[in-house]
Structure 1
Amino acid sequence: MPEPAVAVPADRAAPLCQNCGTPLLGPHCYRCGQPVTGLVRHFSSIVGDFLDSVLNLDTRIFRTLWPLLARPGYLSREYFAGRRVRYVSPVRLFVFLSIVTFFVAQLTISFGDETLRLESQERFAQATTIAAVEQLRNQTLQELARARAQIPGNVPGARAGVDAGAAAVRANADKRIAELRAAAARGEPPATVGDATKPELIFNGRPWDPVANPVHVRWLPGFANRWINQQVEKGRDNIAELKKDPDRLKNAVLGALPSTLFVLLPIFALMLKLAYLFKRRLYMEHLIVALHSHAFLCLALLLVFAFSALGTALPRLGAFAATAEGLLFAWMPLSLLLTQKRVYGQGWTMTLLKYAVLGVCYLVLLSLGVAFTVLASLVWA
């Protein structure tokens, strides 16, 4: 059957498709499907197209977030029923929420108070007399008091953080004084710790040393063993640096977690496929459930970070923020359980059993992924 002729205005010729020569009627060729615009154009327009296709979020986001948070399994069932256009697509939803959540986590989570506590504990542990502990305590508290006086009054939570550090200093000093008095009562010399700038690594019952006691795997060639010992030395040096600035480790872990979740997503969908093998659902259906579940966790964590920041900025609302955080943490596993029950429609006994098995297996995988991320950050940071 011959194709209908294309009407072309008499005053100008229609542009032709560069692939098949057909007159163009829009941004795509209706015969071969090739788009008019390719990659040979201004880079700014390519970036704009990428952001539009990946993070194109309009008013549908408001119709999506509330059911995602408060109606377990609703979005997945709507998607399977064919009602998709009114909601943000699962992929875009997860990408958007994961980026925003871990960006906010970078801003709100800090190990600064823990750094001060560990540093003061190590410094006090090196003191051998009560007078030395008291002198170090008073000097540190004076430095903190001067720092506190210089903090502007409009910086939320800053003075509270300094006060928490001062309390940690007093507690560590009191603990060291009690240890010194107990050692004196027993007639024993006080126990001390050495310089902990570089932690001691034990290998074959002896401290690791790249020359005297290196890691040696017999079946590996010499260059591989040398590479392993180089990584061990890098890891030891990085541990020392992380003790000075633990936020480096936090930033590395939070920066790698989104990619870890992307890797675990298809694995979790495969686990759902195996758990509900006799339901005869397509793998992509399980992937949709996995995407909505992970997006829900990101949204819940984002709200936890928001309430935590609210409690820090407004101490009067601290009790309310803490209650909201507790409710969100309790709602996360319950919502995932209800999602599994409503989407797959099995009885409570089988749902609880499969939920427990899937949860344990996924937590193991997530723990291994996080552990690998931490080790990688220690070696290659």
Structure 2
Amino acid sequence: MSHGKIRADKTCLNCGHLVEERFCPHCGQENTETKQPFHYLFTHFIEDFTHYDGQFWKTIRYLLLNPGRLTKEYLTGKRQTYVAPVKLYIFISFITFLLPSLFSGSEEYDDKQNKKEITAKELKEKQTEEKITKFTDSLALQLKSKNIKNQKPETYKDAKITEVNGNDIETDALSETNDGKMSVLGATNMKQFDSLYAKKVSDRRVFDFLRPFASKVFHLQDQGLGKEEILNRFSETFIHTLPKALFVYLPIFAFFLWIFHNKKKWWYFDHGIFTLHYFSFLLLGILILIFFNRFLDMIPDNIFVSVLQILAYMGGVIYIFIYFFIAHHRVYESSRGISLLKGFLLLIINFIGIMCMLLLLMYISFMMMH
């Protein structure tokens, strides 16, 4: 509830009706003073959403620990006691999208600060080591190339070496060169990629499929990014885009529920409420796992931390599956056998659908990196 000061005038400023208590009985507007301190802009938002009477925290508790009850309560008409499903999903989706990006931004700042703290002596030693490594690697590569060219044609073919612009390049789909760069089908730039494309007449479909990826990888490497930085940017972009992709999948998930249940008893609206609550639970679970992982990152690596991390992820995945079956059984009130059968079919269908969505999301996330 808001703690704003109540106006002495009992006339509602919104509709003009008499307000005997705090809220207008006609339009519902709170009869508080129009002039408020600046901090009221922020405290009012928090109070309006969480409703310090326990509405928000009760909703979160039921969402996490009582599968299906929130949906069942809402469908039976008990709606004022809990946060509305759409409002709940948008809020959880917002914090899932926002908070990890804030923490990743602070980590990038810390990394930059740590890099600045490297002394000139350490930098000079590092450069010397790199020169020695490059020299030895170059010498080894020349000897290897000379030995391969002196071998029989069959042996040379088995070595999987292709000469592009005078350079010997491995023809793996995605690999890392000696200088730390990423190569696509053996090429480290678009010129080499196009040269390989001209020679590989029978494999041009593979080249056509990988061309957008190659172009993106080479563009990022031209900007000075290494393999680790590219992969980090990809993971961050993927995590930030995931809530949006889940939102797009909401009506599809509800549609599959609609197909498997009685159309007269259960409307598409009912399946939509179940879907909103379940996906809110998924997002909140993802957020909890992200912060749990960030917390473990602050602890020095040891066997106990590694085992704890594995157990936490396994427990989270198992709970997500069990949660769906319990919630489905409670909401749709079917027998356990029928509920299990429908639940397994729905999970298999949606697993295929979500995997297709994730593959598409991975492609979009990779292409959206900058």
8 Å contact from structure 1 (residues 108, 309) kept in 2: no
8 Å contact from structure 1 (residues 108, 305) kept in 2: no
Alignment map for 1:231-380 (pairs within 5 Å)? 237-238=219-220, 240-241=222-223, 243-244=225-226, 245-246=229-230, 247-278=232-263, 280-312=265-297, 313-316=299-302, 317-318=304-305, 319-346=307-334, 347=338, 348-375=340-367, 377-378=368-369
8 Å contact from structure 1 (residues 242, 248) kept in 2: no
Alignment map for 1:20-169 (pairs within 5 Å)? 22-23=17-18, 25=20, 30=25, 49-54=44-49, 59-84=54-79, 87-106=82-101, 107=103, 139-140=129-130
Q: 1:191 aligns with which of 168, 172, 177?
A: 168
Moved more, 82-91 or 254-263: 82-91
Moved more, 313-322 or 27-36: 27-36
SS class of match (1:265): helix
Find the aligned partners of 1:254 and 1:180 in 2 and give their Cα distance: 43
1:203 and 1:140, CA in 2 relative to 1: closer, same or farther beyond 3 A? closer
Query: Deviations 1:222-252 (Å, cap 9, x if unpaired)?
Result: xxxxxxxxxx988963575484433444443
SS class of match (2:263): helix
8 Å contact from structure 2 (residues 23, 29) kept in 1: yes
1:235 and 1:58, CA in 2 relative to 1: closer, same or farther beyond 3 A? farther
SS class of match (1:315): coil
How large is the RMSD of aligned CA atoms in angstroms? 5.1
Which residue number in structure 2 is paired with residue 121 of structure 1? none
SS class of match (1:191): strand
Query: Deviations 1:327-376 (Å, cap 9, x if unpaired)?
Result: 2123323322443343234403333223311332233234434533443x
Deviation at 1:99, TM superposition (A): 3.4
8 Å contact from structure 2 (residues 243, 283) kept in 1: no
1:74 and 1:44, CA in 2 relative to 1: closer, same or farther beyond 3 A? same
The two structures have a TM-score, normalised by structure 2, of 0.57
Instruction: Look up the equivalent residue of 1:76 and give its one-letter code.
Output: T
Find the aligned partners of 2:360 and 2:64 in 1 and give their Cα distance: 28
Find the aligned partners of 2:169 and 2:219 in 1 and give their Cα distance: 22
Instruction: Look up the equivalent residue of 1:69 and give its one-letter code.
Output: L
Instruction: Look up the equivalent residue of 2:92 and give its one-letter code.
Output: L
SS class of match (1:274): helix
Deviation at 1:76, TM superposition (A): 2.0
Moved more, 280-289 or 257-266: 257-266
Instruction: Look up the equivalent residue of 1:191 and give its one-letter code.
Output: D
8 Å contact from structure 1 (residues 97, 295) kept in 2: yes
Deviation at 1:305, TM superposition (A): 2.4
Choose between structure 1 and 2 for higher RCO, CA contacts under 8 A separated by at least 6 residues. 1
1:179 and 1:239, CA in 2 relative to 1: closer, same or farther beyond 3 A? closer
Moved more, 41-50 or 252-261: 41-50
Question: How many residues are matched?
Answer: 293
Instruction: Look up the equivalent residue of 1:74 and give its one-letter code.
Output: R
1:240 and 1:366, CA in 2 relative to 1: closer, same or farther beyond 3 A? same
The two structures have a TM-score, normalised by structure 1, of 0.56
Moved more, 15-24 or 330-339: 15-24
Find the aligned partners of 1:338 and 1:279 in 2 and give their Cα distance: 23
Find the aligned partners of 1:269 and 1:26 in 2 and give their Cα distance: 42
Which residue number in structure 1 is paired with residue 3 of structure 2? none
1:36 and 1:234, CA in 2 relative to 1: closer, same or farther beyond 3 A? farther
Structure 2 unmatched runs, 5+: 1-7, 109-124, 152-160, 162-166, 171-176, 183-187, 200-213
